[in-house]
Chains A and B, each alone.
Chain A
């Protein structure tokens, strides 16, 4: 699972504009700057070793075969793999479900929780929504194996009512985008609700009060005032979740294991990249797929940092 503990909202990051004090500080002696390098050295080493170097090595592998430069051959081979396009389609469909449900429900839930006047009740609701975030990775998928298995499920009546008699029925390939959306939403939505709630708290009480005096009801206030104020957070959540969604791996991997490949082991792109490396021993093909995914993730992240309003000081 890649959706837990979303990085804290990033509001106070400078992009270029120096603070007034900086210019003076930049005149300080070289000795101080030398200590700057010492302080960042350990982290920079890790950044090079596990950020830059693997990326460069993946680029090298993706464009070579057995050490010889082959241009885009590896990419062509991967694209022509009969499993590639279905994997893209699976992941894309999952992302559509996941983003729509996340954006709509998180915003609604944050506004509803924010409207609770009783303090302890609001706190409790946020906590209940957030706590599944503790259960991530393989553990959450395992828990959902139980929840989705009509024979032991806490909601077996519901599943049976929908006509499902066994786990294999529930996780039929056509249902998977919804199944993965439910799992991801369960573990990840709470964190975003907490973040949106914080953003709603930042809307000044005066504005809310003015709306009330003008006779706006709760839904009008939500639509005309709260929603516009949330836009940048919604786009932040959308982009982060889109990037995370492309990475789908643990959920189909473990469901494949649990259902003896009723859920295909080449369902998602990362699974395919995994099979290339581990089943076929084709590191170049694996590097090509992971490079495509990495470029998508880097692109989204960079667009957001350089163009997104969230990174400018309000």
Chain B
């Protein structure tokens, strides 16, 4: 049993450790030294400078685009999902069940399944190339509505809301002053999952934006064409060395990796939310 555990722990963690060490080496060191050796901080700085000098700093632009898309979509997602999940859980209205079941079905299909249809639609709407073509589809996050729905239907009682109503509070005040202060955990949870999903999304932005509008996930794949080790015939005169590509890979996931490290407990709670709350 211990052996199974160790083998799989190594399988899951060694690639990450390798990725943390590779940017500290020169190309030669990467090829010749042991895979888990440390190069030097000077070399890390040199690789860093090479990466950010590439294409007059296009890497920073990509990171900036990723941040813009992810945060803008996150904001819209929260603004529309929290009230929607609240209403689905605690307000009775016609069509509530239809909306709930639709949300479940759409939530369970892989998000890539709608990417080409969305591309075709945006293309007909002449929105291709516009940042909105990424932000708006990213904002549609049924899983967030579902999480909010589960949260409000288990953590907030109708009696509490009714008490506020009897005291004369209108629906907006009930939502803003009774429900919202209780909603902090679910807001954080929805925000987390939305941000991670959007930051890591490759397929949709790959199709709907180009040029200097691409996020880092798409940019990373573009970098690949400038790596002579993988593309010996590369036409570009400016080349990217392998350690620099490794650094780019690491930086492209750094925000998510940091969130994972610091929000560990929280994350596990979120993933098992449905299982433990009844």
Contacts and interface: CB of A to CB of B under 8 A. Distances in A.
Does more than half of chain B's interface fall in helix, strand or loop, or is it mixed? helix
Contact of A146 (B22, B137, B143, B196): B22
Contact of A49 (B13, B110, B140): B140
Given A58-B120, A274-B116, A287-B117, A135 B108 contact: no
A139 B200 contact: yes
A33 B123 CA distance: 37
Given A40-B83, A147-B15, A50 B113 contact: no
A247 B110 contact: yes
A2 B153 CA distance: 29
A201 to B, nearest CB: 8
Given A135-B253, A147-B15, A37 B93 contact: yes
A107 to B, nearest CB: 12
Interface string B43-68: 00000000000000000000000000
Contact of A138 (B18, B81, B220): B220
Contacts, number: 335
A156 B137 contact: no
A8 interface: yes
B182 interface: no
B231 interface: yes
Contacts of A10: 104, 146, 274
Contacts of B40: none
A181 interface: no
B5 interface: yes
A123 to B, nearest CB: 9
Given A132-B15, A135-B256, A190-B12, A54 B109 contact: no
* Residue from B124, B145, B270, B272 with most neighbouring chain A CB atoms (10 Å): B272
B84 interface: yes
Interface residues of B, number: 115
A74 interface: no
Contact of A286 (B120, B231, B275): B120
A307 B81 CA distance: 27
B203 A4 contact: no
A184 interface: no
A302 B105 contact: yes
B15 A154 contact: yes
B266 to A, nearest CB: 12
Interface stretch (A83-91, A172-180, A206-214, A293-301): A293-301
Contacts of A37: 93
A259 B230 contact: yes
A227 interface: no
B143 to A, nearest CB: 5
A146 B18 CA distance: 9
Contacts of B217: 137-139
B94 interface: yes
Contacts of A50: 114, 118, 136-137, 140
A80 interface: no
Contact of A47 (B16, B103, B257): B103
A154 B114 contact: no
A246 B112 CA distance: 10
A223 to B, nearest CB: 15
Contacts of B8: 105, 109, 129
30 contacts: A4-B200, A5-B271, A7-B143, A8-B143, A9-B272, A12-B277, A25-B92, A25-B158, A40-B84, A40-B88, A40-B99, A44-B84, A46-B140, A58-B120, A109-B4, A129-B12, A130-B267, A131-B260, A132-B15, A134-B257, A135-B256, A136-B256, A240-B108, A257-B221, A287-B120, A290-B113, A298-B105, A301-B106, A301-B108, A302-B105
Counting from the closest, the 4 A-B pairs by CB-CB distance are A36-B93, A42-B80, A54-B117, A39-B87
Given A46-B140, A125-B9, A194-B271, 4 more contacts: A14-B100, A50-B114, A254-B224, A301-B105
Interface of A: 1-2, 4-16, 21-22, 25-26, 28, 31-40, 42-47, 49-51, 53-55, 57-58, 61, 105, 108-109, 112-113, 115-116, 125-139, 142-147, 149, 151-156, 167, 186, 190-191, 194-195, 198-199, 202, 240, 243-244, 246-247, 249-250, 253-254, 257-260, 270, 273-274, 277, 283, 286-287, 289-291, 293-294, 297-298, 300-302, 304-305, 311, 313-314
